[in-house]
Chain A
Amino acid sequence: MLCDVNAFLGSWPFSIVPEYSAPQLADYLAQSGIRRAVVSHLGAVFQPDPMLANRKLLAAVRRTPALAPLPIVNPLLANWREQLTELGANAAVRAVRILPNYHNYALKSRRLDPFMDALAEAKLKLVLTARLEDERHRYFALRVKGVPCKAIAAFLARFPDHHILCTGVPLFDIQNLAEKHANFSSDLSYAENITMMEMLRDKIAPSRLMFGTFAPLVSARAQAAKLTQSPLTAQERKLIYAENARRFFSL
């Protein structure tokens, strides 16, 4: 069984992929052997107040047990404490996602210090998304760059007590970050190579890798094949397929 830590509801304005309802997304993922998924709402990427989309997300996944909510928070909005309080009050929420470059702040911002403290107090985990798409061939007017590896490294070093799951990180960046930062975990949605697992094995323990897809914008079946058709050890399969996600998100 696979657990996807990087799936989405809502629509991406520049994609030809239609919007899925929560049950439709769960069915789509299940067809590729993905029985559980941690899901954010794409509306929270672009709307000025992410809570509108977060509330839609929480309502949408309530009756779809295969999907767990991962709300998106903007720590630079004046009401970020209210956001966290509201989300933290929902028992289904175990973590929040931040999108620094879509929400126009740098990871080095000092305003993240109280935010990280508040996350710890609320016992919420953090998912840091480096990118949501391939910058090379996306819609021309969207000029958001991926979060640089150096910025992620500095952030990890600044908050060593927070174990952070990063998504949308390229293979070589995963290798670099894993070696120096014990509090770094990564999904594999953006990593690919014919010998991907061989290249990762020397650099990062399987306990720090999780399966992710970008579904439904990216083919879940193709992303699943990255693992299901790789020569993984039994331990790697157990951990990366779902166990690490279960533990991180307390699923």
Chain B
Amino acid sequence: MRIIDVHTHPVFMRRGLQRTEIDWLVAHGRALGIERMVTLGDVLLHGRFPTGEQISAINDVTAQVQSWYPDYFVSFCFLNPTLGERHVMSEVERCVTKYGFKGLKLEICNNASDACMKPVMEAARRWNLVVLQHSWSMTNIKQRSFHTDPADTALLARRHPDVKIIMAHLTGCGVRGVLEAKGLPNLYIDTSGGLPDEGLIEYAVEHLGVDHVLYGSDLPGRAATVAIQRVVGARLTPAERKKILYDNSARLLQLN
């Protein structure tokens, strides 16, 4: 079984960033069949509004992790879009040209439908980067002014049809999130987040098509063992399972 984990945060392990922690994580991942991990950075280290310096420091740590295992980790550049176009463009350029980052990671600095996302998407377009947007149902969490609902991620995808976007956290987005994402060819969803609810992966495959569902764990807060077996145990064909666990992410991130 070959696996690419498209949603990991391997920098806030139990004892903090240490080479031994990353050594352990890579060995753990390889033992489970995980051939590559997308590392998204320690995105909540400085709270909801990291400064430009803090953003750069987080991305430098991501690059450090990648440098230890360059054939294992695929890094995404964490951004705070509210810092403005100049910062966004310079940080993306720095992370792409200096470190070879493959994507952009958006968390809860702002809502994905906000105007400040325009330069982010322009940077993604210019550098041919995939955008991974944290998404969670805001029906019960009353934070939509800065926290992205799946409907907002879908709107982002409609506004920028030439940028490939991953809606994070299938579990947090739920059935409504899947339906929001339906019919958008540039939008993908990762399987991470929350308890491994039964039936939701099958529902996403039915409505989005198997090519739009990507395996993700959100480790270390969640366990890769649990996230993988959720996919393995889903009522899917072996070919569908292979696509979700590996092929779709390999193609999206051009990893072969």
Contacts and interface: CB of A to CB of B under 8 A. Distances in A.
Interface stretch (B109-117, B217-225, B243-251): B217-225
A9 to B, nearest CB: 14
B140 A194 contact: no
Interface string B69-113: 000000000000000000000000000000000000000000000
29 contacts: A16-B175, A16-B199, A16-B200, A32-B233, A136-B136, A136-B137, A137-B140, A137-B171, A137-B172, A137-B174, A192-B221, A192-B226, A194-B13, A194-B28, A194-B223, A195-B13, A195-B14, A196-B223, A214-B195, A218-B197, A219-B230, A221-B229, A222-B196, A222-B226, A222-B230, A223-B226, A224-B229, A226-B226, A230-B225
B224 A194 contact: yes
B225 A195 contact: no
B128 to A, nearest CB: 31
A16 B203 contact: yes
B229 A225 contact: yes
Interface of B: 13-14, 25, 28, 32, 136-137, 139-141, 171-175, 194-200, 203, 219-230, 232-234
A193 B137 contact: no
Interface of A: 15-17, 32, 133-138, 140, 190, 192-196, 198-199, 214-226, 229-230
Given A192-B226, A193-B220, 9 more contacts: A134-B195, A137-B137, A192-B221, A193-B222, A194-B223, A218-B195, A222-B229, A222-B233, A226-B225
A171 B227 CA distance: 17
B136 to A, nearest CB: 7
Contacts of A136: 136-137, 140-141, 172, 194
A94 to B, nearest CB: 27
